Copies of this chain bind each other. A is one copy, B any other.
């Protein structure tokens, strides 16, 4: 395959413009033989003349004339490359591939995306909704820049910052007679009718942990694919379920339900933004975490209280907390 060096093309460009070896050489800052040699090599490689010598000016031959506009365009593109790269250099610019778990996405994104678009127009957020295990794998391998999920995130190659904590509430059919006293106790028999998301969702595990000793056996094979579906099922009297506080506020389906808090210490999940420990976007991720934190504190997703129990979120998964189990179970 025939190809030229950039230097050759620069010399070609100069010579085509100036039409004089000596002056072209001066223009590019070399001596005339240097330029001559490079042009000669180009011609030799193509096995055809690019310039017509003789007379008082050097002229392009037809092959040379074909080449000229191409070479000029190429050189100009090349000269742009530096600034192209700089464009992606400053923080909060370019494409950011963000993963979010399905039980957070619909409640966080409506607040987050407009905020990002308004403050960082140069940032293109590319979203991926998947369960924690998938997001971890994709982030570690570099297909994602970071993801939002529930703690614990236990992968030595990932690091995270907590962005908000999210209490779990109990959702019952509006006309359910069972519950009378508002704070649900962890031993309440109503938990036996708990409905779960399908396997892989961290909220499934978290719900099971809330139930504690009470086994919600009956509902095992009715597991739902999304939280909204689950809420609709509850509204139709198929059982009860756990609903995160952000969903209780934002999901329309919650309007048809009776939402009851748990007795203190309320179970909760702690949501974090996670990224690779050696990510080149470390600073951007920290900034993004800060933004999500601010949104959660004020907007569609809300941070829980002023003095969150630092251990409340871990209670329900304490017995499962070990590194090997995490990738699949969350």
Contact = CB atoms under 8 A, between A and B. Distances in A.
A221 B46 CA distance: 57
A140 B56 CA distance: 9
A66 B48 contact: no
Contacts of A52: 142, 276, 278-280
A81 interface: yes
A84 to B, nearest CB: 5
B54 A278 contact: yes
B88 A280 contact: no
A87 interface: yes
A181 interface: no
Given A63-B86, A94-B66, A55 B3 contact: no
Contacts of A19: 142
A157 interface: yes
A62 B6 contact: no
A280 B86 contact: no
A48 B85 contact: yes
Interface in A256-304: 276-281
29 contacts: A2-B81, A2-B85, A3-B6, A3-B79, A6-B6, A45-B82, A46-B85, A46-B86, A49-B280, A52-B142, A52-B279, A53-B278, A54-B277, A55-B142, A61-B280, A61-B281, A62-B89, A62-B95, A63-B85, A63-B86, A63-B87, A63-B88, A65-B95, A66-B94, A70-B77, A70-B80, A70-B84, A73-B77, A74-B81
Interface of A: 1-6, 19, 45-46, 48-50, 52-55, 57, 59, 61-67, 70-71, 73-74, 77-89, 93-96, 140-142, 157, 276-281
